[in-house]
A = this chain, B = another copy of it.
């Protein structure tokens, strides 16, 4: 049965992803964070399905040493990153709980972080005390754009949220970036509003 508010196309895609997962081999590249077996299979899928770039561009969880691999500078291509110390960075990484995952792609030739995105799981009361995933802060380094690294990040984060039991994943983006997210399976829904202090 197709769940409410899911198009047939989305549902087919979801089933295809589940099939891919079940076939995933077990070559893992995990750093730092405890993973569930499902998330480990996801990572493996990501590597295995990434083709020729898989050996050069490795997707994994953010780790403390990434402070010296250009992670904050990469975020600076997205918005104001600020002047974060190594200690502050390490503290923030270490306080990421099980419901907050920051994915990175490392360029193994240059030992640099070249793509990132995060997802956190909101525990709600609606939908039978359901969960919703929120994707934030997706950015790919200018030098490696056009190689589908952003899509790898977003698809990984989406699967992560699905495996956590989320009934949906949402994100906000500019009109210009909406076609990119459509390639990742997302559809336009509402509008975002904001207040800045």
Interface residues of A (CB under 8 A from B): 3-6, 10, 14, 71-72, 75, 78-84, 88-89, 92, 95, 100, 102, 118, 120, 122-130, 132, 134, 136-137, 158, 162, 166-175, 178, 181-182, 184-197
Give Cα distance in the complex from A72 to B126, angstroms: 8
- Whether A126 pairs with B134 at a CB distance below 8 angstroms is no
Given A5-B196, A187-B195: 19 more A-B contacts, CB < 8 Å: A71-B125, A75-B126, A81-B128, A82-B128, A83-B128, A84-B129, A92-B129, A95-B123, A132-B136, A158-B195, A167-B196, A168-B197, A169-B194, A170-B192, A170-B194, A173-B191, A174-B191, A175-B190, A189-B194
6 A-B contact pairs sorted by A residue (CB < 8 Å): A80-B127, A82-B129, A89-B125, A168-B194, A172-B192, A172-B193
Give Cα distance in the complex from A100 to B123, angstroms: 9
- Whether A171 pairs with B186 at a CB distance below 8 angstroms is no
Secondary structure of the A side of the interface? mixed
- Whether B123 pairs with A136 at a CB distance below 8 angstroms is no
A135 nearest in chain B by CB position: B193
Give Cα distance in the complex from A6 to B100, angstroms: 28
A193 to chain B, nearest CB (A): 4
- Whether B136 pairs with A124 at a CB distance below 8 angstroms is yes
- Whether B193 pairs with A174 at a CB distance below 8 angstroms is no
